[in-house]
Amino acid sequence: MSRDAAPARGARTHRTTAGSRWRGWLRHHRAMCLDSARRLLVHPLGSLMTMLAIAIALVLPAGLWLTLDSARLLDAELEQSATLTLYLEHGIGEDEARRLEATVAAEAGVAGTRLVTAAEGMAEFQQALGLSDALHRLDENPLPASIVVRPRDPSPEVVRAQAERLGELAGIDEVRLDLAWLERLRHLAALGQRVILALGVLFGLGVLLVVGNTIRLAVENRRQEIEVVTLIGATHAFVRRPFLYSGAWFGLGGGLLACGLLVLGRDWLSAPVTALAASYGANFRLPALGMEGSAILLACSTLLGWLGAWITVSRHLAGIRPR
């Protein structure tokens, strides 16, 4: 006997329009949303513990992800500053050097050039090392003039090919390109990404387990209620609903706590990190989560909580048979 094949009297008394059924459904959602929130507040400490466990599981991957994200920004900045240095042969005069610079600037794929004369090179060198005294004692400037080239496309392969081409120009002694560290950084970033992905998956599973365990206890506590409502015609969806909302609330609470922990952590670490970066001459600040990041984190945590509840309740519903 399906819904439409109800016994005659039943069909009359149970007729409901689609609209009223939809309103009833919404009403139940609202009621369960509030009811599950109320149940969390009945045991504030227990709920807080669960949320804290979720928050802890979320903080590590979220924090690492933020760090990596800002490292990516740094990476992009570094790529911008990826340059080739063409050292000119000794004995090339300044006029000759300027001509060479113009030739290089006209090459395809060159975004900009800057000529560093031997004297300027010396000055920069002294400033960077603070060795003015020692170098002053040298009679002759040992540094060659150089042309700093900023390539249009900073990807390592292109830059390497360009270096080879430019090296064949007359008057160029040596081409120096320091790409190794850039590449290393890039590999490191890729590695970091994978590690964070793996951690994210693992800790996400952790959240599922935490929520699942809490919800499992809730299901056990309300076993009799589940049996009774099943006896009188509750659908699985109806039975699941309050637990799904509980799971979502746990997730949301955990997410909020995680956001809070990230803010605290940033405050805690930002002064020493900025100081450390400054000592390397870099201008690096610890990244903040921001509105978008917080929204993503909260959405993920809520979804995880909901999913954890769904898996657990579905697994347990199969085992609950009304007596």
Partner 1 sequence: MIAFEHVGKRYGGRFEALANLDFRVRRGEMVFLTGHSGAGKSSLLRLIMRLERPTRGRVLVAGHDIDRLHPTQVPFYRRQIGVVFQDHQLLFDRSIFHNVALPLEIQGIEPREAARRVRAALDKVGLLHREKALPIELSGGEQQRVGIARAVVNKPALLLADEPTGNLDPQLSADIMTLFEDFHRIGTTVMIASHDLALITRLRHRTLRLHDGRLVADEEAA
Give the interface with partner 1 as residue ranges (CB under 8 A): 1-3, 5-10, 13-14, 16, 20-21, 23-25, 27-28, 224-225, 227-236, 238, 322
Alpha-carbon distance values, 63 to 23, 56, 285, 287 (Å): 42, 11, 14, 9
Residue 117 CB: number of other CB atoms within 10 A?
18
Residue 54: phi and psi, rounded to 5, are: -65, -45
184 or 236: CB nearest partner 1 = 236
Shortest reach from residue 225's CB to partner 1, in Å: 6
DSSP letter, residue 114: E
CB 232 within 8 A of CB 258: no
Closest CB to partner 1 among residues 8, 108: 8
Nearer to partner 1, 26 or 191 (CB): 26
Alpha carbon distance 161, 110 (integer Å): 12
Shortest CB 35 distance to partner 1, Å: 11
Q: Which residues of 188-202 are buried (b: 16+ CB within 10 A; e: fewer)?
A: eeeebbeebeebbee
Residue 304 to residues 112, 196, 210: CA-CA distances in angstroms? 50, 17, 10
Task: Give the Cα separation of 274 and 117 in Å (integer).
Answer: 34
Task: Provide, rounded to whole angstroms, the least separation between the CB of residue 222 and partner 1.
Answer: 9
Beta strand pairing call for 110-116 and 84-88? unpaired
Least distance between partner 1 and beta carbon 24 (Å): 2
For partner 1, the closer of residues 23 and 99 by Cβ is: 23
234 vs 269, which CB is nearer to partner 1?
A: 234
The residue (of 5 and 180) whose beta carbon lies closer to partner 1 is 5
d(CA 292, CA 67): 16
Give me the least distance between CB of 44 and partner 1, in Å please: 19
- The answer for residues whose C-beta is within 8 angstroms of residue 263's C-beta and 6 or more apart is 288, 289
Closer of 30 and 136 to partner 1 (Cβ): 30
